[in-house]
Structure 1
Amino acid sequence: MSKTTEQVRKSLARRYRAERRFRAYGIISIAIGLAALAILFTDIIGKGHSAFFEHYIKLDIAFDQQTLDIEDARDPDQLNYGNYDGAVREALKARFPEVTERLQVRELSALMSIGAGYELRDLLRENPEWLGTTQTLWLLADDDVDLFLKAGEKGRENSRMTAEQKSWTMELERAGDTERRFNASFFSRGDSREPELAGIWSAAVGSFFTMLVTLCLSFPIGVAAAIYLEEFAPRNRFTDFIEVNINNLAAVPSIIFGLLGLAIFINLFGVPRSVPVLGGLVLTLMTLPTIIITSRASIKTVPPSIREAAMGLGASRMQVVLHHVLPLALPGMLTGAIIGMAQALGETAPLLLIGMVAFIVDVPTGPLDASTVLPVQIYLWADSPEQSFVAMTSAAIMVLLAFLIAMNTLAVVLRKRLERRW
């Protein structure tokens, strides 16, 4: 008896040690995952936070009629074709009178963004009485100057600016003629080849219209398919074949749906490229399996007793589904739809294949206007040789992650608040 007891104790000891090892492995795995996530977020935030700020330079701008070639500031044609870059150049020459050579003047003018001229045009349009006066204004600096002012000593040494441009910038900084401001234009402008003028607004609006099309198509079709398969479809080989294919489609790589959209919607039906309607159609194909599977799972959670009670009171099959099953399964359906939409929001590969990789400056006004989406905008900026686009790429990733986290959080909250326990 004592020998058996000893064997049991050894066996239990081995089991307890194995359990402790298993728990340790689990804790280590979670720690590695959290560490990788922390490294990822630290890297993205570390590179992207600077893109939310930009530098301005203070200059005394002379709105001289001869320099601007404008006689009437209320004439739209004269305003549109005014020589604003010349006014900026003259202000810089007045700020640095020692600069006289043509090459130096060109390098000096490169301190300012090409958008400074557009700023002057808009200011003069709003204040036509400024013509013939001198105004002290803060104008946007070039992206190289912005990087130079944001960088530390080592970063400034690696700047591609010339030695003279660095000295002029440092002189402006010492004199208090540079100022760091919040980059509001990052959230209000479209794409641009100049980093200091680029923004995510056109891509964000394009993503909104694309997601709107996707939601309007995928949710009703997915819910209707789930209801039919779960409540009305007969159990035979055909429905089994459909169910297997739906499950397989949920695991198909997203790029395959892009090829499908290219072959069907563009080549066969002639849908225009790079429009939210086309992107929504492709993402609907990709999202439908997820919505159908989650909707069927939600319908299965509704107890059979509710169906039996409703039918016992004389309700038809359709009334049972619409009045009792669907309202109780809707919270789970909404959760699945939000998760599917979050997955679609982060997709890039299928949209690249259908032409939503175009350089879009104007903000789209509807689902039929040419546009791009946030993931594709990130892809374009990541492929740009300009150093300033590195920070802007990370900043756009931060915005996209914020949307994805918000959508997944909404799905969790809806499930917790609307879920019923039986």
Structure 2
Amino acid sequence: MQTSPEKASNDRTRIIRDGLRRRHTSEQIFRGLGIAAIAIALGFVALLFVDVFRKGVPAFVQSNLHLSVTFDAEVIDVGPAPARADFPSDAEYTAASLKWQRDLALLNWNTIVEASLRKAAPEGFEIDSRQIQSIPETNARHQIREMFVRDPSLLGQTVEVDVLASANAANWIKGNIDRSLGDAQQQLSAPARQLIDTFVENGTISNGFAWTIFTNVDSRAAPASAGLLGAFVGTLWMMLIVVLLAVPIGVAAAIYLEEFAPKSRLTDLIEVNINNLAAVPSIVFGLLGAAVFINWFHLPISAPLVGGLVLTLMTLPTIIIATRGALMGVSPALRQAALGMGASKTQMVFHHVLPTTFPSILTATILGVAHALGETAPLLLIGMKAFVASVPATPLDQAAALPVQIYLWQGNENRNFFEPRTAAAIMVLLAVMILLNGAAIYLRSRLEKRA
């Protein structure tokens, strides 16, 4: 039986509508899955940031002891500081000054610190010497000694001095350790904990912003004063080396391969190897750096120069690939127009093609440097995990790096104190990386407007 034309038309319309409905449903499902994937990814990133900030923010608060320090003449009995007028030559004056400072270093400055603490304690409070000296940081005696070295006229005077509380005292004040634990499980004795609580109540101990994180180098003898300055400067040296080496070499290699190199098996092999190097694990570059730069060229271990060279090798493939992609994206009409106006091939590349790729090259460079900034494995293999308590003045000086400093603090045995400090170091590293990414976005937008 044949269907009427009207019925056939209705059937076709129904089939088309069903097909459209299925397509729209599929599109909505796909769009919903995409939005869900993005939401989940952003949720995990937000969870990471919240966790890091929750743990790291308390580390930016430090506990300070406000003490009245008396420079007792009976303890400081090394005589007056040498005067230049008393010596016929600079050499004799320098020798006498060094001897005077050595004599000062041999004095028991802990006695002065302890006397200041007992003066601040309630009258009649009983605590032995070892217990009371566990409250201030161990570098308090050095701080007071340096004050006297700078100003010997302090002898016999009483001055107000702020010193850091020890890491164990900071743990107790901030609640990083459970107060309900028994004495055997506490880091401080019961009298020391009681005296700390008294100091907090009467204002002898107060909290302030931990500038020492930014102004001090790492320290094992005085953990509460440990900072990131040495690691931060070491990282800056490495990033400077990466920018000075990786950018010109990477851009030049990309220009040659894309614009000037003849198509041959050799260039194909080079291109394949560059793409493969971009996927090589970073620890392999660390092995290469240890074998070549340290064992062969005998460059100093744990130096920013070696770290910068290793990170340069790791960043080069990224810059080369990104620059070649930018060059390939330039319209052939621009090349043809430049050549048609009489420009040579070199002029065409450097005067017309390359300037249009500056935004992409700049973005790739900053992102490559930001990626290198967070690398830890290659730096560990070239010896940058060593404890360095100094600020590197040159790229050849021993130094740490921010990722390695995070690694070292994470493994510190005083977990209650250094876990928040590790999170704070991560916050600093993330801030530097965000600034680099923000600079890439800003400079790219400026260059694109000019273009």
What corresponds to 1:210 in structure 2?
Answer: 238
Does the 8 Å CA contact 2:214/2:227 hold for their aligned counterparts?
yes
Does the 8 Å CA contact 1:331/1:414 hold for their aligned counterparts?
yes
Matched, 1:181 2:219: no
Q: How far apart, in 1, do the equivalents of 2:419 and 2:442 lie?
A: 35
Letter of the aligned partner of 1:98 in structure 2? G
> Of 187, 192, 199, which residue of structure 2 is paired with 1:172?
199
What corresponds to 1:24 in structure 2?
Answer: 32
Matched, 1:259 2:287: yes
SS in 2 for 1:181: strand
SS in 2 for 1:161: coil
Pairs within 5 Å for 1:48-59 = 48-59=56-67
Does the 8 Å CA contact 2:120/2:204 hold for their aligned counterparts?
no
What corresponds to 2:115 in structure 1?
Answer: 90
Query: Could you list the per-position Cα deviations for residues 329-377 of structure 1 after superposition, in whole angstroms to 9, with x for gaps in the alignment?
Result: 2221111111100000000001101111110001000100001110000
Query: Could you list the per-position Cα deviations for residues 22-77 of structure 1 after superposition, in whole angstroms to 9, with x for gaps in the alignment?
Result: 12211211221121112111111111111111111122211012223442256434
Q: Give the drift of 1:213.
A: 1.0
What corresponds to 1:136 in structure 2?
Answer: 160
Q: Which deviates more from structure 2 when the two are superposed, residues 371-380 or residues 112-121?
A: 112-121
Query: Could you list the per-position Cα deviations for residues 392-421 of structure 1 after superposition, in whole angstroms to 9, with x for gaps in the alignment?
Result: 100000000001111111112222221269
- The answer for unaligned runs of 5 or more in structure 1 is none
- The answer for unaligned runs of 5 or more in structure 2 is 1-8, 83-99
Does the 8 Å CA contact 2:366/2:436 hold for their aligned counterparts?
yes
SS in 1 for 2:179: helix
Letter of the aligned partner of 1:189 in structure 2? N
Q: Give the drift of 1:3.
A: 1.4
What corresponds to 2:180 in structure 1?
Answer: 157
What corresponds to 2:170 in structure 1?
Answer: 146
Q: How far apart, in 2, do the equivalents of 1:126 and 1:395 lie?
A: 33
Q: Give the drift of 1:380.
A: 0.3
Letter of the aligned partner of 2:223 in structure 1? P
Q: How far apart, in 2, do the equivalents of 1:412 and 1:346 lie?
A: 19
Does the 8 Å CA contact 2:359/2:448 hold for their aligned counterparts?
yes
Pairs within 5 Å for 1:336-347 = 336-347=364-375
Matched, 1:9 2:17: yes
Letter of the aligned partner of 2:433 in structure 1? L
Q: How far apart, in 1, do the equivalents of 2:433 and 2:413 lie?
A: 28
Q: How far apart, in 1, do the equivalents of 2:317 and 2:77 lie?
A: 62
Letter of the aligned partner of 2:293 in structure 1? F
Q: Give the drift of 1:244.
A: 1.3
What TM-score comes out, normalization by structure 2 length? Answer: 0.88
Matched, 1:276 2:304: yes
Q: Which structure has the bigger radius of gyration?
A: 2
Letter of the aligned partner of 2:435 in structure 1? A
Letter of the aligned partner of 1:418 in structure 2? L
Pairs within 5 Å for 1:232-247 = 232-247=260-275
Q: Give the drift of 1:313.
A: 2.6
SS in 1 for 2:74: helix
Letter of the aligned partner of 1:411 in structure 2? A
Q: Which deviates more from structure 2 when the two are superposed, residues 106-115 or residues 2-11?
A: 2-11
Matched, 1:416 2:445: yes
Query: Could you list the per-position Cα deviations for residues 296-321 of structure 1 after superposition, in whole angstroms to 9, with x for gaps in the alignment?
Result: 11212222222222222322222222
Matched, 1:201 2:232: no
Does the 8 Å CA contact 1:266/1:272 hold for their aligned counterparts?
yes
Q: Which deviates more from structure 2 when the two are superposed, residues 328-337 or residues 359-368?
A: 328-337
SS in 2 for 1:385: coil
Does the 8 Å CA contact 2:134/2:188 hold for their aligned counterparts?
no
Letter of the aligned partner of 2:130 in structure 1? R
Q: How many residues align?
A: 419
What corresponds to 2:92 in structure 1?
Answer: none
What corresponds to 2:5 in structure 1?
Answer: none
